[in-house]
Structure 1
Amino acid sequence: MTRRISAAALAILFLFPLLWSAWASARTPTGFGMENYRRLFTSDNGIRAEHVLNSLTVCTLTVGGTLLVATLGGYAFGRFQFPGKNALFLLTLAILMVPYATILIALYVLLEWIGLQDSLLGLSLVLIMFQLPFSIFMMRNAFEAIPQELEESALIDGCTSFGALTRIMLHAVRPGLITVGLFAFLTSWSEFFAPLILLNSTDKFTVMLAVVNMRTASFGAIDYAALEAGVTFMAVPCLLLFLVLQRSYVRGFMSGALRG
């Protein structure tokens, strides 16, 4: 009973800011309605369709790139033996100890040098890089949790290592893949600092930058109700994805992050 009360109290604590934003976004001087959302999508400094498309593009590239590299890296670290394996894995994890804000200027210069500065692809590559340490760690542990006999039987039947990965192993580590993909989506959808530094053109702004742009309205006239509508709009995809994938997310997190 005490555990349930504690869980309910924590749920209320975490849900209160979201519920408050949803309530404030629907509140108007005359009651409740969708007027704030109308201003959010029609005002000059509000969210436009191109902002949503930019965010979805960045999310798609980030999730796809993270899953591809983390799956191959996690499979290599989890199943193969090669010189310097542990040192390379520790070096990969060491990226987590570097505050990414401290190297964004260097990445800005690097992206300009390779012609990807002020581009959604360049932004996605930076987000992928900072997702990889956690993602590779998760996928390595997910692959290590799979019985070795399952892969060996596929190899005996004539599969190559890559064939065993694509035909057998990926199905077995699906919860880990969903966990990694969900984290990559949440990060890329809600990221603010990296787009602020790496994107210069307003037509390439993401939804997060568009929402923050409402906070810096001219003459100090900030539409807080529309701003709350923007916060609620950004939270909805994250909540829906988590609710749909929560079972696989928990399974992947338990089998990956708590192993070893």
Structure 2
Amino acid sequence: MKYYSPRLALAVIFLFPLIWSGWASVQGPDGFTLANYRSITGFGEGLATYVGNSLALSGMTVVGTLVVATLGGYAFARFHFPGKNLLFLAALAILMVPYATILIPLYVLLDYVGLQNSLLGVSLVFVMFQLPFALYMMRNSFEAIPREIEESALVDGAGSFRVLLSVLLPAVRPGLVTVGLFAFLASWNDFFAPLILLSDGASFPLPVAVVSMTQRTFGAIDYGVLQAGVMVMAVPCLVLFLVLQRYYVRGFMSGALRG
């Protein structure tokens, strides 16, 4: 029992905000009510539209991050080319750039290429900011695989791309799931970038829509509606994490973060 007590205490601490939000989302002046959920369902373009925008934005971010990070991580782990280490450090240097300071330049750039006020443009911004962690994770995931496995496939006549698809990708699945999960959570919950880069209400993802739902007269905030929106946003993240937890833990424990 002593062994489980610290874990139980930590679980209660971390779950308390979620439980409190769930309780607050069904409270009204007269007690239990679902009016807060009815309010967010019928707001603006409709809850289904905002959820669909968030799913589309997160999906494009996850796919883009996985494709770029997998190819880049494989190249950094297995190939030698001039400026390899310098290029990798340049990719990691994105972490040192304050997120909010370059959104306005990115707004101008997306407008120049015709992607301003589009979910695709916002997803490209998210992919860029996910690349440092994703490249680091995938490079080390590939480096953790013995080269003998790859060399035996090359001796059998397989090319580098075939080896990547058929041999290496199944071996780095935990790393892929970890990168994809981080990319999904970051893009699903981000508020600031969509607020700056999107101006059409029909394109708003869920975080921006939830904040708009809660605004009342004279700047007052409807906290019941806010908590209902928080629950709608939190449940997919919680379910996805629980489903992919074993891959996520294996991604960190299998040497994916060895530098």
Q: Which runs of 5+ in 1 are unaligned?
A: none
Give 1:138's aligned residue: 137
Contact 1:176 1:256 (8 Å CA) reproduced: no
Identity of aligned residues (%): 65
CA RMSD of aligned residues (A): 1.6
Deviation at 1:216, TM superposition (A): 2.5
Aligned match of 1:122: 121
Tell me the equivalent position of 1:193. 192
TM-superposition CA deviations, 1:41-98 (whole Å, max 9, x none): 1244x85222111111101110000000000000001111111111111111111111
> Structure 2: which amino acid aligns with 1:36?
N
Question: Normalized against structure 1, the TM-score is what?
Answer: 0.94
Deviations 1:22-58 (A, max 9, x none): 11112234443433211221244x8522211111110
1:38 aligned partner: 38
Aligned match of 2:97? 98
Distance 2:233 2:46 in 1: 11
CA distance in 2, matches of 1:75, 1:255: 17
State the alpha-carbon separation in 1 of the partners of residues 258 and 183 from structure 2: 21
Question: Counterpart of 1:26?
Answer: 26
Alignment partners' CA distance in 1, 2:36 and 2:140: 46
The DSSP-based 3-state class of the residue aligned with 1:15 is helix
Shift of 1:12: 1.6
What are the within-5 Å matches in structure 2 for residues 1-260 of structure 1?
Answer: 4-44=4-44, 48-260=47-259
Query: How far did 1:3 drift?
Result: 5.6
Q: Secondary structure at the match of 1:82?
A: coil
Counterparts in 2 of 1:200 and 1:10: CA distance versus 1, 3 Å:
same
Count of residue pairs brought into register by the alignment: 259
**2:158 and 2:248 mapped to 1: Cα distance?**
29
Shift of 1:253: 2.0
Distance 1:130 1:95 in 2: 7
